[in-house]
Structure 1
């Protein structure tokens, strides 16, 4: 087993961990984002496009929704 396999295992732990978090959508999305980033790195290291593409797309999705949630929180605090 090589060192980059550990990156793949870490990615899996973060993605699975994101499904175990309750109550805080930002933490769920951040945890999943870290897993996706690690999967993209892992995919690049092993030169595997089917790992890279969906995780790169999911990274963008997570970043987009984190941005929306932060923007919504900021708007709500300004409305008070």
Structure 2
């Protein structure tokens, strides 16, 4: 198992754990980090569909996270 595969498992772990969280804000933040890692992983393995989808999900999570933080302030 090389470092690229380990990085993919790390990303998978973060995305999986994010769905166990009750707080939606924490869920979005952990999921965004996991999807960002999956974006990098997708680029490392040369898979644009994996990278593209996860980049989109990362941006979506960050948009709603920032929107929530602005409304809260």
1:42 to 2:41 alignment: yes
TM norm structure 2? 0.95
Provide the rounded CA distance (Å) in 2 between the counterparts of 1:68 and 1:42: 27
Where 1:16 maps in the other structure, the secondary structure is helix
Stretches of 4+ moved more than 4 A in 1?
A: none
User: Structure 1 regions of 5+ residues with no counterpart?
Assistant: 75-80
1:51 to 2:55 alignment: no
Where 1:20 maps in the other structure, the secondary structure is coil
Larger radius of gyration: 1
* Aligned residue pairs, count: 73
For residues 15-47 of structure 1, the C-alpha deviation after alignment (integer angstroms, 9 at most, x for no partner) is 11111001x211100110111011011011111
Q: Hey, what does 1:27 align to over in structure 2?
A: 26
Q: CA RMSD in A?
A: 0.7
Q: Hey, what does 1:64 align to over in structure 2?
A: 63
TM norm structure 1? 0.87
